[in-house]
Amino acid sequence: MRKKIQDRIYNFSYIAEIVISLIIFIIIALGIARVAMDLINPDISWNNADALGYFLNRLLMLAVATEFIKMLCRHTASSVIEVLLFATARQMIVEHYSPVETLISVVAIACLFATRKYLLRRSDEKENEADHL
Protein backbone atom coordinates (compact mmCIF):
# COMPACT_ATOMS: atom_id res chain seq x y z
CA MET A 1 0.00 0.00 0.00
CA ARG A 2 2.76 2.42 0.97
CA LYS A 3 4.71 1.67 -2.23
CA LYS A 4 1.59 2.32 -4.30
CA ILE A 5 1.06 5.72 -2.67
CA GLN A 6 4.72 6.62 -3.18
CA ASP A 7 4.48 5.65 -6.85
CA ARG A 8 1.38 7.79 -7.32
CA ILE A 9 3.01 10.77 -5.64
CA TYR A 10 6.09 10.29 -7.83
CA ASN A 11 3.95 10.10 -10.98
CA PHE A 12 2.02 13.19 -9.92
CA SER A 13 5.25 15.11 -9.33
CA TYR A 14 6.52 14.03 -12.76
CA ILE A 15 3.31 15.31 -14.39
CA ALA A 16 3.54 18.52 -12.36
CA GLU A 17 7.08 19.08 -13.67
CA ILE A 18 5.85 18.66 -17.24
CA VAL A 19 2.99 21.11 -16.66
CA ILE A 20 5.37 23.63 -15.06
CA SER A 21 7.76 23.22 -18.01
CA LEU A 22 4.92 23.84 -20.47
CA ILE A 23 3.81 26.95 -18.59
CA ILE A 24 7.37 28.29 -18.54
CA PHE A 25 7.71 27.48 -22.26
CA ILE A 26 4.55 29.49 -23.03
CA ILE A 27 5.88 32.39 -20.95
CA ILE A 28 9.19 32.21 -22.84
CA ALA A 29 7.36 32.30 -26.18
CA LEU A 30 5.35 35.32 -25.03
CA GLY A 31 8.54 36.96 -23.76
CA ILE A 32 10.27 36.45 -27.10
CA ALA A 33 7.26 37.94 -28.87
CA ARG A 34 7.32 40.91 -26.50
CA VAL A 35 11.03 41.51 -27.09
CA ALA A 36 10.50 41.25 -30.86
CA MET A 37 7.69 43.83 -30.67
CA ASP A 38 9.91 46.11 -28.60
CA LEU A 39 12.71 45.78 -31.15
CA ILE A 40 10.54 47.16 -33.93
CA ASN A 41 9.09 49.88 -31.70
CA PRO A 42 10.20 53.23 -33.16
CA ASP A 43 9.78 54.97 -29.80
CA ILE A 44 12.78 53.21 -28.24
CA SER A 45 16.01 55.17 -28.42
CA TRP A 46 18.96 52.83 -28.90
CA ASN A 47 21.33 55.60 -27.85
CA ASN A 48 20.11 55.12 -24.30
CA ALA A 49 22.03 52.69 -22.07
CA ASP A 50 18.82 51.91 -20.18
CA ALA A 51 17.24 50.47 -23.34
CA LEU A 52 20.20 48.14 -23.85
CA GLY A 53 20.08 47.10 -20.19
CA TYR A 54 16.36 46.41 -20.52
CA PHE A 55 16.88 44.14 -23.53
CA LEU A 56 19.83 42.36 -21.95
CA ASN A 57 17.78 41.78 -18.83
CA ARG A 58 14.83 40.37 -20.79
CA LEU A 59 16.88 38.19 -23.14
CA LEU A 60 19.12 36.76 -20.43
CA MET A 61 16.07 36.03 -18.28
CA LEU A 62 14.62 34.08 -21.21
CA ALA A 63 17.91 32.17 -21.52
CA VAL A 64 17.83 31.28 -17.81
CA ALA A 65 14.21 30.15 -18.13
CA THR A 66 15.13 27.97 -21.12
CA GLU A 67 17.94 26.35 -19.14
CA PHE A 68 15.51 25.84 -16.25
CA ILE A 69 13.18 23.92 -18.55
CA LYS A 70 16.11 21.74 -19.62
CA MET A 71 16.91 21.12 -15.97
CA LEU A 72 13.33 20.05 -15.26
CA CYS A 73 13.40 17.68 -18.22
CA ARG A 74 16.88 16.16 -17.82
CA HIS A 75 17.39 15.78 -14.05
CA THR A 76 21.17 15.83 -14.33
CA ALA A 77 23.77 17.53 -12.20
CA SER A 78 25.18 19.13 -15.34
CA SER A 79 21.87 20.84 -16.14
CA VAL A 80 21.65 22.20 -12.58
CA ILE A 81 25.15 23.64 -12.89
CA GLU A 82 24.26 25.19 -16.26
CA VAL A 83 21.21 26.92 -14.75
CA LEU A 84 23.34 28.27 -11.91
CA LEU A 85 25.98 29.45 -14.40
CA PHE A 86 23.41 31.27 -16.53
CA ALA A 87 21.69 32.83 -13.52
CA THR A 88 24.95 34.03 -11.96
CA ALA A 89 26.25 35.39 -15.26
CA ARG A 90 22.95 37.15 -15.88
CA GLN A 91 23.10 38.85 -12.49
CA MET A 92 26.67 39.96 -13.14
CA ILE A 93 25.79 41.44 -16.52
CA VAL A 94 22.48 43.09 -15.70
CA GLU A 95 23.08 44.29 -12.14
CA HIS A 96 25.72 46.82 -11.24
CA TYR A 97 27.63 45.16 -8.43
CA SER A 98 30.36 46.55 -6.24
CA PRO A 99 33.86 45.24 -6.98
CA VAL A 100 33.69 42.79 -4.06
CA GLU A 101 30.34 41.40 -5.20
CA THR A 102 31.64 41.08 -8.76
CA LEU A 103 34.68 39.20 -7.47
CA ILE A 104 32.43 36.85 -5.49
CA SER A 105 30.33 36.23 -8.61
CA VAL A 106 33.44 35.50 -10.69
CA VAL A 107 34.70 33.07 -8.03
CA ALA A 108 31.26 31.40 -7.95
CA ILE A 109 31.30 30.96 -11.73
CA ALA A 110 34.86 29.59 -11.58
CA CYS A 111 33.77 27.11 -8.89
CA LEU A 112 30.82 26.01 -11.02
CA PHE A 113 33.08 25.48 -14.04
CA ALA A 114 35.56 23.55 -11.89
CA THR A 115 32.75 21.43 -10.47
CA ARG A 116 31.50 20.64 -13.94
CA LYS A 117 34.97 19.78 -15.21
CA TYR A 118 36.44 17.85 -12.29
CA LEU A 119 33.58 16.48 -10.19
CA LEU A 120 30.99 15.39 -12.73
CA ARG A 121 31.60 12.02 -14.29
CA ARG A 122 30.98 11.71 -18.02
CA SER A 123 29.52 8.21 -17.62
CA ASP A 124 26.78 9.51 -15.31
CA GLU A 125 25.82 12.18 -17.82
CA LYS A 126 25.70 9.69 -20.70
CA GLU A 127 23.53 7.29 -18.68
CA ASN A 128 21.11 10.07 -17.78
CA GLU A 129 20.91 11.25 -21.39
CA ALA A 130 20.25 7.69 -22.57
CA ASP A 131 17.45 7.35 -20.01
CA HIS A 132 15.70 10.45 -21.35
CA LEU A 133 15.91 9.62 -25.07
Q: What confidence tens digit (pLDDT) does each residue in 84-119 have?
A: 999 998 888 888 788 999 899 999 999 999 998 888
Answer yes or no: are the C-beta atoms of 35 and 58 closer than 8 Å: yes
State the CB neighbour count (10 A cutoff) for residue 121.
9
Q: What's the Cα-to-Cα distance from 95 to each of 20, 24, 101, rounded to whole Å?
A: 27, 23, 10
- Of 81, 87, 40, which is closest to residue 63 (Cα–Cα)? 87
Write down the pLDDT at residue 121. Answer: 73
Residue type, 95: E
Distance between first and last Cα of the chain:
31
Statement: residue 132 has pLDDT above 70: no
The boundaries of the domain holding residue 72 are: 2-131
Report the domain count for the chain.
Answer: 1
Mean residue pLDDT of the chain comes to 85
What pTM, to 2 d.p., does this model score?
0.74
- Of 87, 88, 76, which is closest to residue 116 (Cα–Cα)? 76
- Of 34, 81, 86, which is closest to residue 65 (Cα–Cα)? 86
Which pLDDT band holds residue 22 (cuts at 50, 70, 90)?
A: very high
